[in-house]
């Protein structure tokens, strides 16, 4: 398929690195009208914008910075509204077509050695941060009576995590949030789904795991390898696009069939 996102405005949290950056790139390849990437860090935002603008010169690409741990709904909503105000349709009407909530953090500690506050921080960023993004996107899309929200769950939220209770709990919460908002917003022609990645080759994964641990993990995956970010990004593109028009409140595993 080509031009799956033609004419659409897409807002992506966590868009400066890893899965988020790959998703931004694939959205542009698929003809998105405009893409906004959000990063916690101004320097990574600027590096991502530079790379995308060099690859896609003349396209509508903008960046925002906020920290999901502390950002208010007002701040998040203001960024979304500013974004769509820059790129109205031919009739001057603003539109937010898709929001990909990808930003998140992980941890790799057992209950014996987890630092104080880590569990709470992971839940604040991954679950409460996703809720605030989803709510602001949902209010805009509810009013315009269409749109797609794609959250980032994890197989850790499905099966649990032996080395990260906070991460597994937060992603389990994202699954419940996705199913609930999907049921609610379906009445307004707004779709809410989630991608559940397995282990992905990103900076965050490499930081949290030794090479030995990564080799062990590969043995638990039916395909015997970890995922590349683009493989996750393609599912975000599909769910954000009109090709997924009958997908609602679903959790889509992209995990190479992780068996344990």
Whether 6 is catalytic: no
Which residue in 167, 187, 207, 218 is the catalytic one?
167
Query: CA 205, CA 220: separation in Å to the nearest integer?
Result: 16
Whether 167 is catalytic: yes
Sign of CA dihedral 165, 171, 174, 175: negative
Instruction: Please name the helix (run of DSSP H) or strand (run of DSSP E) that holds residue 240, with its range, or none.
Output: helix 229-240
Read off the tokens for 136. Answer: 């602001």
Which residue in 8, 64, 124, 171 is the catalytic one?
171
159: left (phi over 0), alpha (psi -120 to 50) or beta: alpha
Pairing mode, strands 34-39 and 9-13:
parallel
DSSP 114: P
CA 203 to chain centre: 16
Beta bridge partners of 193: 150
Supply the residues annotated as catalytic. Answer: 167, 171
């Amino acid at each position: 398929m080509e031009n799956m996102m033609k004419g659409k405005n897409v807002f992506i949290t966590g868009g400066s690195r890893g899965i988020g950056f790959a998703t931004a790139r694939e959205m542009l390849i698929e003809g998105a009208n405009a893409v906004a990437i959000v990063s916690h860090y101004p320097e990574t935002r600027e590096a991502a914008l530079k790379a995308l603008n060099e690859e896609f010169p003349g396209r509508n690409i903008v960046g925002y910075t906020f920290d999901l741990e502390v950002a208010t709904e007002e701040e998040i909503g203001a960024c979304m509204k500013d974004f769509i105000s820059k790129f109205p349709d031919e009739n001057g009407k603003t539109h937010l077509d898709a929001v990909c909530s990808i930003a998140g953090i992980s941890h790799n500690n057992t209950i014996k050695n987890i630092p104080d506050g880590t569990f709470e921080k992971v839940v604040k960023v991954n679950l409460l941060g996703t809720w605030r993004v989803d709510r602001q996107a949902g209010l805009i899309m509810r009013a315009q009576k269409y749109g797609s929200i794609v959250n980032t769950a994890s197989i850790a939220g499905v099966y649990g995590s032996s080395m990260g209770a906070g991460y597994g709990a937060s992603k389990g919460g994202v699954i419940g949030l996705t199913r609930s908002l999907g049921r609610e917003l379906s009445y307004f022609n707004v779709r809410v789904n989630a991608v559940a990645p397995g282990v992905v080759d990103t900076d965050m994964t490499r930081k949290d795991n030794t090479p030995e641990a990564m080799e062990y993990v590969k043995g638990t995956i039916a395909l015997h390898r970890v995922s590349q970010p683009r493989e996750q990004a393609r599912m975000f593109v599909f769910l954000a696009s009109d090709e997924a028009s009958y997908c609602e409140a679903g959790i889509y595993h992209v995990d190479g069939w992780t068996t344990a």
